[in-house]
Amino acid sequence: MKRIGMLTSGGDCQALNATMRGVVKGLYEFFDKVEIYGFLEGYKGLMYGNYKLLHADDFSGILTKGGTILGSSRQPFKLMTVPDENGLDKVKAMKDTYKKLKLDCLVVLGGNGSQKTANLLSEEGLNVIGLPKTIDNDLWGTDLTFGFQSAVDIATSAIDCIHTTAASHGRVFIVEIMGHKVGHITLHAGIAGGADVVLIPEIPYDIKKVVKALDARAKSGKRFSIIAVAEGAISKEVAKLSKKERKARMENYPYPSVAYEIADHIKATGGAEVRIAVPGHTQRGGSPCPFDRVLSSRFGAKAAELIKQEKFGELVVFLNNKVTSIPLSESAGKLKYVSPDDDIVKEAKTLGICFGD
């Protein structure tokens, strides 16, 4: 009998269910008897012993279902070693739950913070397998994470829809895409959606150069422009500030988000009308796209294979078009940023896209 625990942690995305389904189908192929314990609301369920025994039927029909059947919650890694309000030792509690259920392995579906905790539990002696979930595609060590392509599809669709109304009214439209620290979604959706300007956190922008690019389009006879901006995009002036100075700036920030600040600056130049569209959490919702369904199924199958091989402390990854794995310790605590020197950035510039740098 194999006893496997499973949890989904952090922000939700479209392919969590598809990935869990892949793990379970693989386990049923490899082992005659399997018990699957699903922890509710991520690490919180593991801490407080809130779980349910799952059966094959629970994983039937969920390949196309977004969200997570287990629920999720954000449990910051920096607070994992801090007792809760009742003095509970969180790490010890998670280890106790694992041992109480006599688990052979814990499968963690999550992003950067979740995998840092997964690595912590691995170092504490638990058998852990990580699966790379995040719409931001910012988990170090893997070319792709599940959820990313689905989010890009939705963000691109939003830009596509904006094109017609922008063209009809001759406006500048700013589409604010998810991404606080990294700009992978904005970059890919911006290229796919034909955005004229793409602003991401990794490449601080000069608003004067953004306005210059918009003016050049207007002078060439273009009636509208599309700006795809990541919610974490920053100007060159802000990039020069210290962390303390940035924090102080945000405490008195007069705008709902960066898109509104950029719009204000553009309006001040006396140019075209400016409108803002924020797809927001729609980028996390709905059904996973076909690409993510395939990727998630492959990830799940690989996790089952690693469990069969008793190769624990691993993160399943997609590298060079192959599904493989790397030690959790290699990825934990590292973010995968967009580099200004990446080929995709250079190629986007060749296409005439302005990054404001």
Give me the average pLDDT of each 10-residue run along the chain (357 residues).
Answer: 96 94 97 97 96 95 95 87 89 96 97 94 97 96 97 97 87 95 98 98 96 92 94 94 87 92 89 89 95 98 98 97 97 94 97 96
62 and 139 assigned to the same domain = yes
23 and 93 assigned to the same domain = yes
40 and 130 assigned to the same domain = yes
170 and 260 assigned to the same domain = yes
Indicate if 206 belongs to the active site.
no
pLDDT computed for residue 167 by the predictor:
82
**CB-based contact 159:193 (threshold 8 Å):** yes
53 domain residue, yes or no? yes
165 and 242 assigned to the same domain = yes
237 and 270 assigned to the same domain = yes
Q: What is the CATH number of the domain that holds 249?
A: 3.40.50.460
User: How many CA atoms does the CB half-sphere of 257 hold within 13 Å?
Assistant: 17
pLDDT computed for residue 322 by the predictor:
97
Backbone angles phi, psi at 346, to 5 degrees: -60, -40
Between CA 208 and CA 214 the distance in angstroms is 10
pLDDT computed for residue 256 by the predictor:
93
Element (H, E) at 29: helix 16-30
240 and 105 assigned to the same domain = no
223 and 304 assigned to the same domain = no
101 and 193 assigned to the same domain = no
42 domain residue, yes or no? yes
279 domain residue, yes or no? yes
Planar angle of CA 104, 109, 132, nearest 5 degrees: 120
Between CA 148 and CA 64 the distance in angstroms is 15
Between CA 182 and CA 98 the distance in angstroms is 34
**pLDDT (tens digit, 9 = 90+) per residue, 293-320?**
999 999 999 999 999 999 999 999 999 9
User: How many structural domains does the chain have?
Assistant: 2
Token look-up 């058998």 returns: 127
105 and 180 assigned to the same domain = no
Per-residue DSSP letter, 284 = G
143 and 158 assigned to the same domain = no
Q: Which of 136, 138, 153, 196 is catalytic?
A: 136
Between CA 26 and CA 305 the distance in angstroms is 7
SS3 state at 198:
strand
141 and 36 assigned to the same domain = yes
The reported pTM is 0.94
10: tokens are: 């952090």
342 domain residue, yes or no? no
How many CB atoms within 10 Å of residue 81? 10
Q: Which range marks the domain in which residue 315 is found?
A: 2-147+288-331
Between CA 287 and CA 297 the distance in angstroms is 14
216 domain residue, yes or no? yes
Planar angle of CA 141, 143, 147, nearest 5 degrees: 105
pLDDT computed for residue 273 by the predictor:
86
**CB-based contact 335:181 (threshold 8 Å):** yes
210 domain residue, yes or no? yes
Between CA 37 and CA 29 the distance in angstroms is 18
16 domain residue, yes or no? yes
159 domain residue, yes or no? yes
Q: What is the CATH number of the domain that holds 136?
A: 3.40.50.450
How many CB atoms within 10 Å of residue 85? 5
